[in-house]
Every structure is written in structure tokens, then in C-alpha cells.
A and B are shown apart, each in its own frame.
Chain A
Amino acid sequence: VAKTSLTSPPWPEVKLPDPVEEAKYHAEVVQKVNKMIAMGQYGRLFAVVHFASKQWKITSEDLIMMDNVLEAECGDRIRMEKVLLVGADDFTLIGRPLLGKDLVRVEATVIEKTESWPKINMRFWKRHNYQRKKIIVNPQTVLRINTIEIFPGL
């Protein structure tokens, strides 16, 4: 039968690779990554952590400032549990949506608890003799990320 414009659908045909071969390839990759983690052949690790209702991209030795109060004294060590992504130079571990607690460990210390600079909130309507001025001072907490560790548990 001759090929017309309607013999095949207009979208490109999509073929997925063979599931058996794919499973073998996946197992190989997982083994390789596990070996790399066990041998410690990674440089600096970065992690994406969900903390204080925000997502942060953190490495070791960096500072984080949150715009709220944390119920921990200065100098307390904190373990951040909701880790979404961990990566190094050669591999990344993507969580769906979170990574397991036996895979990653992120530790942080509370450094200081201060207040923000006085922000001015002003409302003004012209010709109506209406103006309100309010000074808002938010409490802030500064954390230093000590370490990010991964364990070969894939």
C-alpha cells in the first residue's frame, strides 16, 4: 500500500529501550556509584535541603540565615532531615521527593540569633489625610552547615 500523509501519525514515533537490558544497565550504574561512594572518590558534596519552608542549596562550611526563630540554643548541633538532592562532581542522587535518612546526613550548628534591620511599612493615600507607619523587626537565626555525609546504601 502506498504511503500517504495519513498512513503514520503526525507525531514522531517513540521507542523505549528494551526493559531487560535497561534493568541490567541500571544495576551496573548503581553498583558503580555505590563503589565510588564506598571508596570515597568524591570531592565537595552539595545538597538541596528543605528547611524553614524554603529550599536551600548548601555545601559544607557555608552560612544560612533564616527569617524566623529556631527553638535551639546557640551552639546546638542540628541534623537536617528533608534532603531532596545530593550531588558531587560525577554523580547526583535525586530523591523522589526525599532521600532516605540512612543515605545522607547533613549537620549544622546554630551560630547566632539576632533581629533583622528595622524595615519600614508605610501606607499613604493622597488627599485623604491617611498615613500609617510601622517598623517591623524580624527575628533571624544564622546556621553554619558543618558536614554533608553520604553512606553507600543504594
Chain B
Amino acid sequence: MVLLSAPCWLRSRLTDRFWRVQEVLKYARHFRGRKNRCYKLAVRSVRRAFVRSTKARREKKRFLRALWITRIEAASLEHGLKYPSFISNLLKSQVELNRKMIADLAIYEPKTFKSLAALAQRRRQEGFLAALGDGKEPEGIFSRVVHHY
């Protein structure tokens, strides 16, 4: 005779409930209110906190780039240049510093930043002169004064 069902007094009982709960509560200890003590409220808060931290890691890059651009704009305006002309002229002069470096240089190395701004300004003026050319009219076009005979 094979007895297939287990007898009633043998139950599988959870013995490490305390540690499973502590694993979640340890991330909630610095929260405000009952969510730092009560498991049911803490689970929801901790889950939202994790999701928000993953999304924030992607947004941090965008935020920092905007911060650097603001700082570079402020520093270049002090030297009489606007941000788009500063960056475009630096790139045209083959200087490949990224925005993080230029912002750090503007904060900690003001003389170096001034020389970079002067370089960008000079390249800008050379660009204008190259675009204006000689100042003569192009060939093959007769002048606007037309004589009727």
C-alpha cells in the first residue's frame, strides 16, 4: 500500500521571513513616514525608487550636458562671444575638446579659456573675410543700368 498524500502535521513553513523583509526595508530606512517601517508600504516605495533611479541614470547625461552648455555660454559671453559661434569656430579650428572639458577649463583655468575664446574669435573673422571675397561683381552679369536706344 503506497501512501501518496503527506500527513497533516508535516507543513512547509517559512522560517526566514524576517530576513526577506529586511532585504526590502534596508533600502527604505531613510524614507519619511511609515514607509520606512511597515513592509507593505515600503515595498511600493522601494519599487518606485528603483524605477526612478534607473530612469534618472539616463536623464543625468542630458542634464549634465545642458549644464555644461549653460556654463560655456556664460563664460564665452564674458569674453564677447556667443555660444554657437564659439563652439562652431573651435570645431572649425580642429580643436576637439568636449563640452565637459571646456566648462571645467572655464571654471578652473580662466587664462586658457580666454585664449580659446580669442582663437574662436580670430577664426570667425577669417571666416567672414573668406565669405565676403573680393567685393567685385561676378562675371557674366551686366549692370542694372540698361540703355534703351
Residue numbers of A with Cβ under 8 A of B are 11, 14, 16, 46, 48, 55, 57, 84-85, 87, 89, 92, 94-97, 119-124, 131, 133
Residues of A within 8 A of B50 (CB): 120-122, 124, 133
9 A-B pairs closest in CB distance? A122-B50, A97-B96, A96-B94, A14-B125, A92-B112, A55-B101, A124-B51, A120-B50, A122-B51
Is B93 in contact with A55, judged by CB distance below 8 angstroms?
no
Cβ of B60 to closest chain A Cβ, rounded Å: 13
Question: Measured between alpha carbons, how far is A85 from B98 in the docked complex, in Å?
Answer: 12
B128 sits at the interface (CB 8 A): yes
B116 sits at the interface (CB 8 A): yes
Question: Measured between alpha carbons, how far is A96 from B91 in the docked complex, in Å?
Answer: 10
Q: Could you give, for residues 72-114 of chain B, a 1 whenever the CB lies within 8 Å of some chain A CB and a 0 otherwise? A: 0000000000000000000001111110110011001101100
Is B96 in contact with A87, judged by CB distance below 8 angstroms?
no
With contact pairs A48-B97, A84-B96, A97-B94 given, residues A57 and B126 touching in the complex (Cβ less than 8 Å): no
Instruction: List the B residue with the shortest CB-CB distance to A87.
Output: B112
Instruction: List the A residue with the shortest CB-CB distance to B47.
Output: A124
Residues of B within 8 A of A46 (CB): 109
Instruction: List the B residue with the shortest CB-CB distance to A133.
Output: B50
With contact pairs A14-B128, A92-B111 given, residues A55 and B98 touching in the complex (Cβ less than 8 Å): yes
Interface pairs (23), CB distance under 8 Å = A11-B128, A14-B129, A16-B126, A48-B97, A48-B101, A55-B98, A55-B100, A57-B101, A84-B96, A84-B101, A89-B111, A92-B109, A92-B111, A92-B112, A96-B93, A96-B94, A120-B53, A120-B54, A121-B50, A122-B51, A124-B50, A131-B47, A133-B50
Question: Measured between alpha carbons, how far is A81 from B16 in the docked complex, in Å?
Answer: 55
B119 sits at the interface (CB 8 A): yes
Is A122 in contact with B95, judged by CB distance below 8 angstroms?
no
Instruction: List the A residue with the shortest CB-CB distance to B54.
Output: A121
Residues of B within 8 A of A11 (CB): 128
Question: Measured between alpha carbons, how far is A81 from B30 in the docked complex, in Å?
Answer: 46
With contact pairs A92-B115, A122-B47 given, residues A55 and B97 touching in the complex (Cβ less than 8 Å): yes
Is B109 in contact with A96, judged by CB distance below 8 angstroms?
no
Neighbour of A84 across the interface among B47, B57, B97, B119, CB < 8 A:
B97
Cβ of A129 to closest chain B Cβ, rounded Å: 13
Is B109 in contact with A123, judged by CB distance below 8 angstroms?
no
